[in-house]
Amino acid sequence: MNQLDFPILSLMMGLPMLAAIICLFLNAQAARWLALVTTLVLFGLGVVLWANYDIGGPQWQYVERSDLFGNFAWALGIDGISMMLIMLTVFLMPICIGASWESIQTRVGEYMAAFLFMEVLMIGVFAAQDIFLFYILFEAGLIPMYLIIGIWGGANRIYASYKFFLYTLLGSVVMLIAMLWMVQDAGTSDIPTLLNYDFAPEAQTWLWLAFFASFAVKMPMWPVHTWLPDAHVQAPTAGSVILAGVLLKMGGYGFLRFSLPMFPEASEQFIWLVFGLSMVAVVYTSLVALVQQDMKKLIAYSSVAHMAIVTLGLFAFNRQGIEGAVVVMLSHGLVSGALFLCVGVIYDRLHTREIDRYGGLAINMPKYAILFMLFTMASIGLPGTSGFVGEFLSLVGLYKVNSWVTLVATTGIILGAGYMLYLYRRVAFGELVHEDVKAMPDLSAREMALLAPIAAAVMWMGVYPESFMAPIRGDVGALVARIDRAAPEGDAHLKMGEAKAVTQDEVHGEAH
Amino acid sequence: MDIGNSLYLVAPEVFLTVSSLILLLIAAWGGEKSARLVTILSAAALFGASILLMVLAHMPEFKGGVYAFDCQYSMDAFGSSAKFLIYIAAIVSLMIAPRFFQAGGKYRPEYPVLILFACVGMGMMVSATDMMTLYIGLELNSLSAYVLASFIRTDVRSSEAGLKYFVLGALASGMLLFGISLVYGFAGSTSFAVIGETLSGDLSTGPLIGLVLVLSGLAFKISAVPFHMWTPDVYEGAPTPVSTFFASAPKVAAVALTARVIIEAFGGQTSAWQQIIIFVALASIILGAVAAIGQQNIKRLLAYSSINNVGFLLIGLAAGTPEGISAMMFYLAIYVAMTLGSFICVLEMRDKDGRPLESLSSLAGLSQTRPGLAAAFAVFMFSLAGIPPLFGFWGKFLVFDAAVAAGMLPLAVIGIAASVIGAFYYIKVVKIIYFDDPSGEIVATGHKTENGLIALMALFVSPLGYLAIPFMAPITNAAAASLF
């Protein structure tokens, strides 16, 4: 079975499922507590998962499998990358529940049930070892997210929920056809087997495009990112946190788990497409973020820019790039989640996300200002925070492949500093001109308890990233070895300069 | 094969025929008072027929399927599994009827009797291996259906539905009959097996026209585009329990019948029928999706949804492989559960005075007044849209899998992309139920039988349904294998 002798992954999916069903029948307060306790227990299980993970051991751990469904199996198992993403999920979930503690007052039981169901699906997506199981869990996320945005969202929630649902559905359905074809060609739906199956290069092109359609929307990449700002702005705070923190990572995870190792040749063939779209995304969405008046929209656009760094790193085909991309995913999950929480904190007080309505918060909300500053810096990628590690590694990896793309991508960091600092200045600095803003109290104990753990994790990842990189090192190595045969040649051909030939005369002359 | 043995093989039909004749007598003498008794006895008769069916299907000597009455009728796994679905759908249609009709006036015992006659007809349809059996079965079913559609004869819409159904149905029967006669003229026989042998190689224009006409007649019965026009009107006008019945049992019968005709009679003419089926499938999917968007009446919406689903069913048939037929049968089973479930939900839409409500807007905010019903409705809608993890996804998965295995990638890609259009109106219904403010039109308490049935269907369609795959897959595989 596995190192723990019990199916911990199934337990981690079964527990929240059960709690979700019970939540439907509970009153508001009981549902809140049940959801909080469940997510905390899951976080505990996540820690057990990490503590018992055998770094350097077999690639797939905690493997379990039962052929329940005929055509596909209930097959779970994780490698280091999956484990880190599951950790991210179980870490953010209690925070999401906490963030909704007071701001959600209507239909609390259903709300908590939707979140717990989301958690089941997110853990399942990262742990699935059967390609059809993956698809089912990947797609199923649409239903709870549609309800979360539509029921508890802002004023324009209906439009946002439709757009979210249809965009992501359209992206994914073609991937299903590709999966059906792959399974018929390879004769198995087992992901570890498929990872080492060589599809014919001509077929890879089409399969890659089908998968790309899905993951590019999920990621989201320019120009199919437009659902994201709408969804973020309209979703309740916790919905935004989970959307930015985990759901976007599914796109990156998909590239990492499917596109790259299963279709290495096609990935190389379409590298121009990925690089091109990502370059546009980095520059364009950063510029768009600069002119936003709505805080959530600004952070949403910054997410698109950060995700573009992830795709650039992934398609660098080398260790630095891919490791960097994974770290950016983890870091962005924490930082953007925290930023949405920060927005949520002041939104709960003033009920507006308009940047101009704030100002001078550093005066009356010093604790808030400090934490917000930390996350702003982490988003910019200041050394010492998690943002720096990932972005630096991604860009190093990318530089090995294409220095021009790296040049453009790096401007994203500068622009990122631009829009984040501009946001921070407008919100936190300056004079307290608005009377209602002056009356806003500083962070409550609950809000502190939500933001402090993220702050700690962000610093930890920034100062000692080894904790997070050790588990993924072996898996990235395996991935790099797998795709190495298709790796593009870098554009920088470094050569050792030849020493100038020393003539007899000079030698002679020196002697004098 | 002697006549006794043949009668033995058609035991379910014989049993149902005798029961319905007896019940007809009871109804004639007992009048309206006997309505409830006749309904219960009819359900019991269908139940008995299902048991007979299972006993026959499990007899080892009939495993591979046997012909009765000189190859006019076949007792095989395909027919049995289709009949089983038909009987279940008919039993459900019987269970929900009394309360509906009593609320609107009088409940008459003709309803269960007509359903039984329709079931006899449908049983013959799915087991027919001869054009004559096919036609008789089809007409027996259709005639009962015409009467059922106009069952509330004082209601204008109901009478209109019946008339419309009758006129268009007669037209379709005419086309079918003309097609059959052409095929008979060229093949020299009405038996599927003989037609299949005779019409091999290149098809000349005569039998080709025959094939097209036969398929047109059948397309009418399964309400596939371009012969779908009657469906929304009839589903809307007919009393809701009758619409429930129309959307489930006859659909199973007609789809299964179409599959049998195509595989057994025209199996050698793949190139001839395949393009027709592909066109009809895609047209149904797309039209069913697009036309539903503007609907304000939930029954019309469900009618378009059934057109849409027929398109997906036909993708399995278009593949023309045993996997395709097996996928189609599996999809049918799920489709029946989803359709029955959503129509019973519609049945639950009543105002304070017990009058049925049908507009989409009356569903607004249902999740706050009737959370259970709302959840079930949402489950059916998401499932009809084919969103995992609901079981409706599995039906689509199987038909697309079969299409991909048969190398029909463009069909699969277009079909699945068009399913996204359909998703729009399904999630619109969910939006109305969950996001809108309560309209308070729908009465807050449900009915025991209906709630129980809804819960049952919702459980089957929920992710728990996946656990049924290992049990159902061998049955549908055996059903498909018996055609080839």
Contact B401 A150 (CB under 8 A): no
Q: By the 8 A CB rule, do B329 and B81 touch?
A: yes
Q: What is the pLDDT of residues A41-100, one digit of tens each?
A: 999 999 998 998 888 888 888 888 888 787 788 889 899 899 999 999 999 999 999 988
Give chain A positions within 8 Å (CB) of B467: 68-69
Q: Out of A3-7, A196-200, B478-482, which region has the weakest mean confidence (pLDDT)?
A: A3-7
Give chain A positions within 8 Å (CB) of B427: 146, 162, 165-166
Neighbours of B103 (CB within 10 A): 13
Q: By the 8 A CB rule, do B127 and B113 touch?
A: no
Which pair of structure tokens corresponds to residue A184?
């018929």
Indicate the pLDDT class of residue A508, thresholds 50, 70 and 90: low
Q: What is the ipTM of this complex?
A: 0.91
Distance of CA B406 to the CA centre of its chain: 25
Residues 6 or more apart whose CB falls under 8 angstroms from that of B202 comprise none
| Range A131-159 average pLDDT | 89
Measure A318 CA to nearest chain B CA, in Å.
34
Q: What is the pLDDT of residues A364-416, one digit of tens each?
A: 888 999 999 999 999 998 898 988 999 999 999 999 888 899 999 999 889 99
C-alpha closest to that of B303 among B346, B268, B272: B346
DSSP B394: H
Measure the CA–CA gap between A15 and A12, rounded to whole angstroms: 6
Measure the CA–CA gap between A302 and A208, rounded to whole angstroms: 27
**Taking all residues of chain A, what is their mean pLDDT, rounded to a whole number?**
88
Q: What is the pLDDT of residue B282?
A: 93
Q: What is the pLDDT of residue B327?
A: 93
CB contacts < 8 A, A to B, total 91
CA distances from A354 to A290, A338, A347, A389, A403 (A): 14, 18, 9, 31, 38
Contact A165 B389 (CB under 8 A): no
Residues 6 or more apart whose CB falls under 8 angstroms from that of B220 comprise B168, B169, B171, B172, B175, B176, B227, B230
Q: Out of A144-148, A263-267, A349-353, B182-186, which region has the weakest mean confidence (pLDDT)?
A: A349-353
Q: Does A165 touch chain B (CB under 8 A)?
A: yes
What is the full per-residue pLDDT of chain B (484 aa) written as tens digits? 578 888 888 888 999 999 999 999 999 998 888 888 999 999 999 999 999 988 888 887 777 778 888 888 888 889 999 999 999 999 999 999 888 888 777 788 889 999 999 999 999 999 999 999 999 999 999 999 999 998 888 888 889 999 999 999 999 999 999 999 999 999 888 999 898 888 887 788 888 999 999 999 999 999 998 899 899 999 999 999 999 999 999 999 999 999 999 998 888 888 889 999 999 999 999 999 999 988 899 999 999 999 999 999 999 999 989 999 999 999 999 999 999 999 999 988 888 877 888 888 888 888 888 888 999 999 999 999 989 889 999 999 999 999 999 989 899 999 998 889 889 989 999 999 988 888 878 877 778 888 899 999 999 999 888 888 989 998 999 889 888 8
Would the pLDDT of A505 be above 70? no
Q: What is the pLDDT of residue B108?
A: 87
Q: Does A69 touch chain B (CB under 8 A)?
A: yes
Give chain B positions within 8 Å (CB) of A151: 434-435
Which of B315, B434, B436 to mutate: most A Cβ within 10 Å?
A: B434
Q: By the 8 A CB rule, do A164 and A130 touch?
A: no
Q: Does A136 touch chain B (CB under 8 A)?
A: yes
Give chain A positions within 8 Å (CB) of B470: 68-70
Q: What is the pLDDT of residue A56?
A: 82
Indicate the pLDDT class of residue A211, thresholds 50, 70 and 90: very high
Contact B388 A135 (CB under 8 A): yes
Q: What is the pLDDT of residue A512?
A: 53
Would the pLDDT of A423 be above 60? yes
Contact A181 B409 (CB under 8 A): yes
Q: Does A68 touch chain B (CB under 8 A)?
A: yes
Which pair of structure tokens corresponds to residue B421?
């259009």
B388, B389, B404 ranked by CB distance to A184: nearest: B404
Measure B167 CA to nearest chain A CA, in Å.
40
Q: By the 8 A CB rule, do B423 and B306 touch?
A: no
B404, B430, B435 ranked by CB distance to A177: nearest: B404
A24, A110, A139 ranked by CB distance to B388: nearest: A139
Q: What is the pLDDT of residue A510?
A: 54
Residue in the block written with tokens 């799915």: B126
Q: What is the pLDDT of residues A37-54, one digit of tens each?
A: 999 999 999 999 899 888
Q: What is the pLDDT of residue A507?
A: 58
Residue in the block written with tokens 């479930």: B341
Contact A166 B416 (CB under 8 A): no
- CB-based burial of residue B200 (10 Å sphere; 0-12 exposed, 13-18 middle, 19+ buried)? exposed
Measure B28 CA to nearest chain A CA, in Å.
50
Q: What is the pLDDT of residues A14-37, one digit of tens each?
A: 999 999 999 989 888 899 999 999
Measure the CA–CA gap between B226 and B235, rounded to whole angstroms: 17
Would the pLDDT of A222 be above 80? yes
A135, A137, A151 ranked by CB distance to B434: nearest: A151
DSSP A255: I
Which of A123, A163, A173 to mutate: most B Cβ within 10 Å?
A: A173
pTM exceeds cut of 0.90? yes
Which of B416, B459, B471 to mutate: most A Cβ within 10 Å?
A: B416
C-alpha closest to that of B433 among B378, B376, B359: B378
Q: By the 8 A CB rule, do B296 and B425 touch?
A: no
B405, B434, B466 ranked by CB distance to A69: nearest: B466
Q: Does A73 touch chain B (CB under 8 A)?
A: no
Measure B435 CA to nearest chain A CA, in Å.
5
Q: Does A504 touch chain B (CB under 8 A)?
A: no
Q: Does A107 touch chain B (CB under 8 A)?
A: yes
Contact A140 B473 (CB under 8 A): no
Residue in the block written with tokens 């039981």: A109
Q: Does A126 touch chain B (CB under 8 A)?
A: no
The percentage of residues in chain A with a pLDDT greater than 90, rounded to a whole number, is 42
Element (H, E) at A61: strand A61-66
Interface of B with A (CB under 8 A): 367-368, 371, 382, 387-389, 393, 397-398, 400-401, 404-405, 409, 412-413, 416-417, 419-420, 423-424, 427, 430-431, 434-435, 466-467, 469-470, 473
B389, B405, B419 ranked by CB distance to A140: nearest: B389
- CB-based burial of residue B30 (10 Å sphere; 0-12 exposed, 13-18 middle, 19+ buried)? middle
Would the pLDDT of A509 be above 60? no
Give chain B positions within 8 Å (CB) of A169: 387, 420, 423
CA distances from A95 to A234, A245, A453 (A): 19, 11, 9
Q: Rounded to the nearest 5 degrees, what angle is found at the Cα of A204, between the Cα atoms of A200 and A205? A: 130
Q: What is the pLDDT of residue A506?
A: 61
